[in-house]
Amino acid sequence: MRLIKTIPVIAILVFAFSGSIDAQCKAFAKKECLPELQPYTHDGNYHAAVLVEGEEAELYKTFYSDMEYRVSIVGESKLPAIEFKVLDINKNVLYSNKDKDFASTWDFKLQASQQLKIVVKVSSFNKPGDTPASGCVAIMFGFKMKK
């Protein structure tokens, strides 16, 4: 009976704690990632999550042919390098920041409108047995109208 009373309390605490993490990551995105988009106009969406070393996240986004874009991906300073790749629908790698010394931004234009997949991975620098680092990783997009 005691366990049945405890489960709802634990669930409420987990949801309350995860909400504060999301709020902290959104604040991190606004403070650290948003300035990286300049002079592009932010699309209004804040994509941020807590990731652990070695963990990967994916995001799908539609991009249009009449626009110039900037993608910015920034992780908290306690995290190792953040790798990101942009892939088309056929899984062709259009860009990898690993080849560019883990650059945090990429500017691009597409010849045709399409949905792209952004894959973000936190590198590992801990030795086996060490506690892996975790922290916020923000992904934001900016655009310019084609002149």
Q: How do residues 11-25 score in pLDDT, each as one tens digit?
A: 433 333 334 457 789
Q: How far apart are CA 80 and CA 124, in angstroms?
A: 6
Q: What is the DSSP letter of 90?
A: T
35-48 tens-digit pLDDT: 999 999 999 999 99
Query: Per-residue pLDDT for 82 more than 90?
Result: yes
Q: Do you know the residue count of the chain? A: 147
Average of pLDDT values for 78-99? 95
Query: Per-residue pLDDT for 1 more than 60?
Result: no
In the chain, what are the domains? 2-145 (2.60.120.380)
Look at residue 66 in the predicted model and tell me its pLDDT: 82
Of 18-27, 47-56, 100-109, 122-131, minimum mean pLDDT range: 18-27
Amino acid type, 42: H
Q: Which residue has the tokens 């399409």?
A: 114
Amino acid type, 90: N
CB 133 within 8 Å of CB 69? no
Neighbours of 68 (CB within 10 A): 15
Average of pLDDT values for 117-133? 84
Contacts of 122 (CB under 8 A, 6+ apart): 51, 52, 53, 54, 55, 56, 75, 79, 80, 82, 83, 137
Query: Per-residue pLDDT for 10 more than 70?
Result: no
